A and B are shown apart, each in its own frame.
Chain A
Amino acid sequence: GESVGLHLPTLSVQEGDNSIINCAYSNSASDYFIWYKQESGKGPQFIIDIRSNMDKRQGQRVTVLLNKTVKHLSLQIAATQPGDSAVYFCAEKNNTGKLIFGQGTTLQVKP
């Protein structure tokens, strides 16, 4: 069946280092991917998205990379800050237009 999964449930990084959060997806026909950040007690917050006709997209301190050959998505956060501590979800848009979310990766930033 269709699934979007994350390789690591928890990622711990030192403040100031770069973070890389990975995501695998199974539907090769997916044409849109998105990353969300969810802080404790809050709703998911949009970070960045990418379409399948792109390999890379950059935002403010964040970069999303898409490797369609191996169906892999990653989120890179530069100079990680304590405020980046949260759960990060990747999601893909399936054939029916619905977003399918992964289980999430917890990012812990150590001061």
Chain B
Amino acid sequence: DAGVIQSPRHEVTEMGQEVTLRCKPISGHNSLFWYRQTMMRGLELLIYFNNNVPIDDSGMPEDRFSAKMPNASFSTLKIQPSEPRDSAVYFCASSFASGGETQYFGPGTRLLVL
């Protein structure tokens, strides 16, 4: 199994630009999670989906952030417009259990907003 796949691995953009992060979960997993990791705040859950339906988006910082999961094998996290404080590593994780247990993480996307 290829594991969770994320793209791009690195993204450098300027403030105000739109950023789209992509994730392909492990085949057969029915839950998908987006996390953000920073030195100051650690690993934070932004949003998670169960069977392609958003269940909890309370961690999404503000309206500039949006996430979609059009099908079981693809999800996007979009930031528009991006700001320097959005700079972080963004992880996607998936799990077989709808209870969010045993999540498998992707390699992450390192985002730098100048």
Interchain CB contact under 8 A, B102 and A34: yes
Q: B residues 39-80 with Cβ under 8 Å of A?
A: 42-43, 45, 48, 56
**Which B positions have Cβ atoms within 8 angstroms of A?**
4, 42-43, 45, 48, 56, 91, 93, 99-108
In the complex, A96 Cα to B56 Cα: how many Å? 9
Q: Which of B99, B101, B102 has the most CB of A within 10 A?
A: B101
**Residue A93 is within 8 A (CB to CB) of chain B in the complex:** yes
In the complex, A33 Cα to B55 Cα: how many Å? 21
Q: Which residue of B lies closest to A100 (CB)?
A: B45
Contact sample, A vs B, 16 pairs, CB 8 Å cutoff: A43-B4, A43-B91, A43-B106, A43-B107, A44-B43, A44-B91, A44-B93, A44-B105, A46-B104, A49-B102, A96-B56, A97-B100, A98-B56, A98-B100, A99-B45, A101-B42
Q: How many A-B residue pairs have C-beta atoms within 8 angstroms? Tell me.
A: 43
Q: How many residues in A have their beta carbons less than 8 Å from beta carbons of B?
A: 19
Q: Which of B45, B56, B93, B100 has the most CB of A within 10 A?
A: B100
Find chain A residues with CB under 8 A from B102 CB: 34, 46, 49
**Residue A67 is within 8 A (CB to CB) of chain B in the complex:** no
Find chain A residues with CB under 8 A from B93 CB: 43-44
Q: Which residue of A lies closest to B99 (CB)?
A: A97
Interchain CB contact under 8 A, A42 and B99: no
Interchain CB contact under 8 A, B99 and A93: yes
Find chain B residues with CB under 8 A from A46 CB: 102-104
